[in-house]
Amino acid sequence: MRVADAPGEPPVGPVPTDPDTEAGRIGPAMELVSARLQTRADAASGDAKDVLEATITMVGDPALLENAENLVREGGRPAPRAVWEAANTFADMLAAMGGYMGERATDVRDVRDRIVAELQGLPAPGVADLAEPAVLVAADLAPADTAGLRPGIALALVTEQGGPTSHTAILARSLGIPAVVGCAGARQLVEGAFVVVDGGAGSVEEVGSAEEAAVIVEAVEAVEWDGVGRTADGHPVPLLANVGDADGAAAAAERRAQGVGLFRTELAFLSAAEEPSEKRQREVYDGVLGAFAGKPVTARTLDAGADKPLPFLTLDGEPNPALGVRGLRIARVPGNGADVLERQLAGLAAAAKETGAELKVMAPMVATAEEARFFVQRCRAHGITSAGVMIEIPAAVLVAREIMAEVDFVSVGTNDLAQYLFAADRQSGPVAALNDPWQPALLRLIRMLGEASAETGVPVGVCGEAAADPALAPVLVGLGVATLSMGSGALAAVGASLAGLTLEQCRALAAVACAAPDPMSARQAVSAHCP
């Protein structure tokens, strides 16, 4: 099934020959859009339901209808254009008000696109509700849309844009939905075509019949792992899980994760129109921490911004959101970010008390030791005894010793560290090769962190996608990485890989990988040196 794009700006003309009839089309189109959204809201729950209910109120706004009808009757606009202009005026007004009202501007534009598509006879934009299992094909999918996909109904996801470390790809993987991202020309596939989607090879092929159609899930070898991460000579390397909600945490515990190395707290709130209440936050935090009583759980404070906008927190209209006010930076600019951080830290601390999990908290998007100090102070004020930061910005590697003097631990987000190191957008298919975690330049940065860690005694973990690669994991350990955190499906393969090598052998592999001129040579050199 193709995921329809937004319809785009409709033309100003021609002037309708019968303005009354033309204006009369708008009301029924709005009602139809509203009814469809209502069906979805009835089937939804939690934040998704709240967002849909709020959107329905906008579709039914009598002022929007009246203004659009007037633009047809008095302004000579065709109906789609009239809705476009009336909605934009409304959205601009909300945006100018700022704050909560300003954030509603996005909802108005969404409503606008739905009504315009209806008036133009085009499919509704965004992910439709699938009545039966299908492969979704889209230009790109927002993380909020991806998070709402149902495995088993959404059989696979194919997008033209995006790289393998984009959040859309990470989310699809965590839901167990095979995803082929950055697939050029995918949207040329005809609606209803039969395809073979190979999640492992990253390929999509059109076939002639339903019998030939298939979704090949990334091959996961059945490997033995006893649930304790360590090298062959007994050097401990706790293997932790990346999770986003209670279900993910329960699955990770079942797969014997030794704790959670990255709880992406923002994922639970991607479609929340307002800051989630204390009660809602506690539900989510208790759910994740409760699956790991007595074990370490590293929660990351909200990493809002860039490709994970949170409607209640993200600044609108930044020209380069990935380089803008993202992650911890939101708590340090005027606005509600500082208070949101305080309430989140309080909720996490309370959840730790309630569940008995060993809470660690870290901040995303930290570039300087001063930012690290600020964050640790905020954590301490809430009685959080283990506070750290993510290393995702190359500047943070260059001042690693100063940062380590402030924190209890650091964790490398290789997805963003690569993006910012190579100036290569992780959402962009054409530059995906630069974001390869085997890039020697990236590995050499991690080596610098390993050296700083050995000197300061502050442990460094890796929680980016690099940690999930069984061939790369020993290299990371050889570089001085103390813990690895990954999608829980990768735990057994990574555990088995480490168990087959001594620490000395890991160090030798790290040396050859760092010395390689490019990712392909690094992979080959490591494979050739593996005993």
- Return the active site residues: 167, 463
Residue 77 touches which member of ligand PEP, Mg ion, none, C-beta under 5-8 Å by kind: none
Shortest gap between Cβ of 166 and ligand PEP (angstroms)?
Answer: 9
Shortest gap between Cβ of 359 and ligand PEP (angstroms)?
Answer: 18
Q: Which of 179, 262, 361, 482 binds ligand PEP (CB under 6 A)?
A: 262
Neighbours of 120 (CB within 10 A): 14
Q: Which 421-480 residues touch ligand PEP, going by CB under 6 A?
A: 463-464
How far from chain centre, in Å, is Cα 292?
Answer: 23
Q: Which 373-392 residues touch Mg ion, going by CB under 5 A?
A: 392
39-78 mask for ligand PEP (x: CB under 6 A)?
----------------------------------------
CA angle 394, 395, 399 (to 5 degrees): 120
Shortest gap between Cβ of 287 and Mg ion (angstroms)?
Answer: 22
Shortest gap between Cβ of 266 and ligand PEP (angstroms)?
Answer: 8
Q: Are strands 239-243 and 483-486 parallel, antiparallel or unpaired?
A: parallel
Q: Which stretch binds ligand PEP (CB under 6 A): 15-23, 85-93, 414-422, 499-507?
A: 414-422
| Partner residues linked to 203 by β-bridges | 198
Instruction: Record the tokens describing residue 508, joined without a space.
Output: 């030798």
CA atoms of 47 and 34, how far apart (whole Å): 18
The H-or-E segment that residue 179 falls in is strand 179-180
Supply the DSSP symbol for 460. Answer: E
CA atoms of 135 and 54, how far apart (whole Å): 29
Residue 450's closest CA among 480, 473, 472? Answer: 480
Which residues are CB-neighbours of 259 under 8 A, at least 6 positions away?
238, 240, 241, 292, 295, 296, 297, 298, 358
Shortest gap between Cβ of 468 and ligand PEP (angstroms)?
Answer: 11
CA atoms of 40 and 53, how far apart (whole Å): 10
Pick the closer one to ligand PEP by CB: 258 or 414: 414
Does residue 413 bind Mg ion (CB under 5 A)?
Answer: yes
Q: Are strands 203-207 and 194-198 parallel, antiparallel or unpaired?
A: antiparallel
Does residue 415 bind ligand PEP (CB under 6 A)?
Answer: yes
Contact 10, 78 (CB under 8 A): yes
Overall size of the chain counted in residues: 531
CA angle 325, 313, 83 (to 5 degrees): 105
Task: Using DSSP, state whether 461 is helix, strand or coil.
Answer: strand
Q: What are phi and psi of 497, to 5 degrees?
A: -65, -45
Pick the closer one to Mg ion by CB: 344 or 419: 419
Shortest gap between Cβ of 413 and Mg ion (angstroms)?
Answer: 4
Residue 264 touches which member of ligand PEP, Mg ion, none, C-beta under 5-8 Å by kind: ligand PEP
Q: Which stretch binds ligand PEP (CB under 6 A): 188-196, 213-221, 291-299, 410-418?
A: 410-418
Residue 240's closest CA among 495, 486, 498? Answer: 486
Does residue 261 bind Mg ion (CB under 5 A)?
Answer: no
Q: Which 127-166 residues touch ligand PEP, going by CB under 6 A?
A: none
165-194 mask for ligand PEP (x: CB under 6 A)?
-----x------------------------
Residue 414 touches which member of Mg ion, ligand PEP, none, C-beta under 5-8 Å by kind: ligand PEP
Q: Are strands 154-159 and 179-180 parallel, antiparallel or unpaired?
A: parallel
Q: Which stretch binds ligand PEP (CB under 6 A): 140-148, 171-179, 407-415, 488-496?
A: 407-415
| # of chain residues touching ligand PEP (CB under 6 A) | 11
Residue 69 touches which member of ligand PEP, Mg ion, none, C-beta under 5-8 Å by kind: none
Shortest gap between Cβ of 249 and ligand PEP (angstroms)?
Answer: 16
Q: Where are the beta strands (DSSP E) in 386-492?
A: 387-391, 409-412, 460-462, 483-486
Contact 164, 438 (CB under 8 A): no
Q: Which of 50, 107, 416, 436 binds Mg ion (CB under 5 A)?
A: 416
Does residue 392 bind ligand PEP (CB under 6 A)?
Answer: yes
Contact 486, 264 (CB under 8 A): no
CA atoms of 507 and 452, how far apart (whole Å): 16
Cis bond before residue 364 (omega within 30° of 0): no
Pick the closer one to ligand PEP by CB: 87 or 171: 171
| Partner residues linked to 179 by β-bridges | 157
Residue 146 touches which member of ligand PEP, Mg ion, none, C-beta under 5-8 Å by kind: none
Q: Which of 80, 162, 413, 461 binds ligand PEP (CB under 6 A)?
A: 413
Does residue 266 bind Mg ion (CB under 5 A)?
Answer: no
Q: Which of 34, 67, 281, 414 binds ligand PEP (CB under 6 A)?
A: 414
Q: Which of 245, 416, 425, 436 binds ligand PEP (CB under 6 A)?
A: 416
Query: According to DSSP H, which parts of 44-78 are helical?
Result: 46-59, 62-73
Pick the closer one to ligand PEP by CB: 366 or 493: 366
Where does this chain bind ligand PEP (CB under 6 A)? 170, 262, 264, 303, 392, 413-416, 463-464
Q: Which residues bind Mg ion (CB under 5 A)?
A: 392, 413, 416
